[in-house]
Amino acid sequence: MDKYTLERDGQIDFYKVFLPRVNPSLDIDDILADNNDGVINGNLLEFKLHVTDLNAVLLQCIKYLSALRVKGKPIPANILIIDVNAATLWLYHSETYLSDIEKLYTGGASKDNSGFIGGNAERVLHYDKPLDVESIVRLLKECSYTKIHIDENCIVGWATSFYKAVPTARKEDFLGDDTGKHKTIGEIRKPVHFAKFIYPYTGQTNVKFNYLMDKLNDTLQKKNLGAFYTHSLYAEKSLELVRAAIARVPAQNDYIILDRCAGTGNLEADLTDDELSHCIVSTIEYYEYKVLQELLGAKVRHIIPPIETAETFNAGLVKGADALSKEYIENPIIRQYIDNPECTIILFENPPYTEPQAVEGQKTAPWKKSYVVSEMRKECSGTVSNDLGNVFIWSGFKYYLRQSTDSYIVYSPVKYWKVQHLINKKFITGFAFNRRHFHTNIDACIMCAFWSNEDADIDTLEIIGFDIGADNSLILCKTLPVHRIYELYSNRYNDKRTFEDDTPDGIILGLDGLESPNNSRIRPLYNNNLLGYMIAGSSGFDKPDLESSLLVSGCYRGNGFFLRKDNYCIDIMIFT
């Protein structure tokens, strides 16, 4: 009769027996951290009540190793398949299956594994035999790993691991190559920290990773730059707006398409050669600039700066390419077109997006001290200049668009028009794209708007929604009306009343509805007439669980008001 009816019981007993001999300080939760049956030193373990098809279980293990590679985690040299009822262990070497490990797999690791043909096990051990027990202990103490090749499927994971391992590292320390004037050889090309885990990447340049460059920035650059990748399907769709803008160019005019934050040029990837010949592009991040030069440098009209010099590299950035600097605004290459009344200007951009309240440390971010921000604050009051995307949009209309036939096609959350009233221009048409596909994990609206440089006072926009399906196809959703907001909910409806019989012995809750141990911004009131606490802190849909909530008692974050028996129905009806 089988000793175990649950695989988990056999797994736990195995660890209880062997961990004291291998490393008593090992914690089972750490061993099980990656949704597999365990990694101990250089060993991946997979447990089964009964192993009936070794090859199928081996493929399951290969899928687990593939997932580790994508996450940027070392690949154990040993694969240990364990039948807990037969007390039998099969040893395989992962290096033998490296080509399979370096594939991508979808779905559950335990699904659809029949038919795989692997080799014979290196050893078969029985842990009810003393000599084999000692062999298993020696195996579990081994710290050997199989080296993998860096490619576009795993480089983000390894970049994340590298910046965690070397907190002071910059992008050049990870991606650097020997092309261009600045020659720092990065970790992927000459592994030091990961010498036991990865083979040197032999690609001459970083073009292979062009659509991932925003995700490969070091932590500091991610905070400062706020750059987001634009999905190729969305970029291609937005070209309809660009071509509509080109159609507005007066017959006698030349035109330029200016992108001040082009990254590696994925917005421009599907423009025709003729359209590219009208483009001026720039990017502030050095390794993006090198890729941009390689991909588009020979096709566009201008790239800023036009060539790399010994001074181009500036602490990971590009000297002369800071779109928020006075130097850039006065750049003679661009100014010759701005100053020419027979040239039409089309701005086409996905500006960086970051806010000080969203990212710790943004209050001291370098861009906050830029020339453009200082000029914007002279004309715009309040917090509108705290958003880096807003700074690009404001400066676009301020410094580059002059004529009624000039256009701005811009990606951005819609609040700059809806709530902040940053611009009052003629809206021609636009799209709503799902923010999730911009290398984020948020389902929210990114508007791609086609603005004409004509003053207009409008209250409602209509934008056509598009999502991206699992098969990487563009999905037409519905037309979304966007109404301008002139007053915050809190200004009109927040109840600031106090009552003589309010007492300070209520409780303070977290957003999960449980009592919060955090420091609170509000007093823990109690009154028989209190029914709950409402927060309506934003007019957008980013982080709705933070900005909109209804709790039975006060929330530690504040920014809301208490609902009482005499205003509950009114406020709930308005809020919904």
Question: How does DSSP assign 508-522, residue by residue?
Answer: EE-TTSSBP-S--SS
* Lowest mean per-residue pLDDT among 3-17, 96-110, 142-156, 217-231: 217-231
Q: Is residue 164 part of a domain?
A: yes
Average pLDDT (239-243) is 98
Q: Could you report how far apart the first and last alpha carbons of the chain are, in Å? A: 61
Average pLDDT (206-223) is 63
CB-neighbour burial class of residue 418 (10 A; exposed 0-12, middle 13-18, buried 19+): middle
Domain termination residue (choose one: 445, 466, 483): 483
Q: Smallest Cα–Cα separation from 438: which of 410, 412, 409, 471?
A: 412
**Pair 121, 66 in one domain:** yes
Domain termination residue (choose one: 204, 219, 244): 204
User: Cα 406 from chain centroid?
Assistant: 32
pLDDT band at 273 (very low <50, low <70, confident <90, very high): very high
Residue 217: per-residue pLDDT: 60
Q: Smallest Cα–Cα separation from 331: which of 296, 291, 292, 371?
A: 371
CB neighbours of 487 closer than 8 A, spacing ≥ 6? Answer: none
Residue 141: per-residue pLDDT: 95
316 φψ region: left (φ > 0), alpha (ψ -120 to 50), beta (else): left
Residue 220: per-residue pLDDT: 47
Q: Is the pLDDT of residue 308 over 50?
A: yes
Q: What is the pTM of this model?
A: 0.76
Q: Is the pLDDT of residue 1 over 80?
A: no
**What domain count does the chain have?**
4
Q: Is residue 225 part of a domain?
A: no
Q: Is the pLDDT of residue 221 over 60?
A: no
Q: Is the pLDDT of residue 383 over 90?
A: no
**Pair 307, 428 in one domain:** yes
Q: Is the pLDDT of residue 123 over 90?
A: yes
pLDDT band at 230 (very low <50, low <70, confident <90, very high): confident
Q: Is the pLDDT of residue 226 over 50?
A: no
Q: Is residue 141 part of a domain?
A: yes
Q: Is residue 227 part of a domain?
A: no
Specify the higher pLDDT residue, 304 or 180.
Answer: 304
Specify the higher pLDDT residue, 135 or 362.
Answer: 135
**Pair 199, 237 in one domain:** no
**Pair 493, 533 in one domain:** yes
Question: How does DSSP assign 131-182, residue by residue?
Answer: HHHHHHHHHHH---EE-B---TTTHHHHHHHHHHHSTT--HHHHH--SSSS-
**Pair 188, 247 in one domain:** no
Residue 211: per-residue pLDDT: 65
**Pair 373, 438 in one domain:** yes
Specify the higher pLDDT residue, 461 or 513.
Answer: 461
Q: Let me know how long the chain is.
A: 576
Residue 544: per-residue pLDDT: 61
Average pLDDT (115-144) is 94
Give the separation between CA 165 and CA 402, rounded to whole angstroms: 49
What tokens were used for 346?
A: 């089309």
Q: Is the pLDDT of residue 329 over 60?
A: yes
CATH code: domain of residue 269 = 3.40.50.150
**Pair 438, 542 in one domain:** no
Give how far Cα 576 sits from Cα of 111, 394, 479, 536, Å.
43, 33, 21, 11
What tokens were used for 313?
A: 């590299």
Q: Is the pLDDT of residue 407 over 60?
A: yes
Q: Is the pLDDT of residue 391 over 90?
A: yes
Q: Is residue 319 part of a domain?
A: yes
pLDDT band at 299 (very low <50, low <70, confident <90, very high): very high
Q: Is the pLDDT of residue 225 over 60?
A: no
Residue 168: per-residue pLDDT: 85
**Pair 186, 118 in one domain:** no
User: Whose structure tokens read 């690009």?
Assistant: 392
What tokens were used for 437?
A: 């596909």
Give the separation between CA 418 and CA 421, rounded to whole angstroms: 6
What tokens were used for 326?
A: 């006075």
Q: Is residue 226 part of a domain?
A: no
Q: Is the pLDDT of residue 554 over 90?
A: no
Q: Smallest Cα–Cα separation from 244: which of 393, 397, 348, 398?
A: 348
**Pair 369, 420 in one domain:** yes
Give how far Cα 411 sits from Cα of 323, 420, 433, Å.
17, 16, 9
Q: Is residue 196 part of a domain?
A: yes
Query: Which domain, by its residues, includes 536?
Result: 489-575
**Whole-number mean pLDDT of the chain?**
88
Specify the higher pLDDT residue, 513 or 407.
Answer: 407
User: What share of the chain has pLDDT > 90, as a percent?
Assistant: 59
Q: Is residue 176 part of a domain?
A: yes
**Pair 387, 476 in one domain:** yes
**Pair 193, 323 in one domain:** no
Specify the higher pLDDT residue, 552 or 468.
Answer: 468
Q: Is the pLDDT of residue 571 over 60?
A: no
Backbone angles phi, psi at 551, to 5 degrees: -120, 165
Give the separation between CA 440 and CA 445, rounded to whole angstroms: 12
Long-range contacts of 62-65 (CB under 8 A, 24+ apart): 62/94, 62/97, 62/100, 62/101, 63/105, 63/109, 64/34, 64/36, 64/109, 65/94, 65/97, 65/101
Average pLDDT (94-101) is 97
**Pair 457, 524 in one domain:** no
Residue 156: per-residue pLDDT: 87
Residue 541: per-residue pLDDT: 56
Residue 524: per-residue pLDDT: 86
| Pairing outcome for strands 445-455 and 508-509 | unpaired
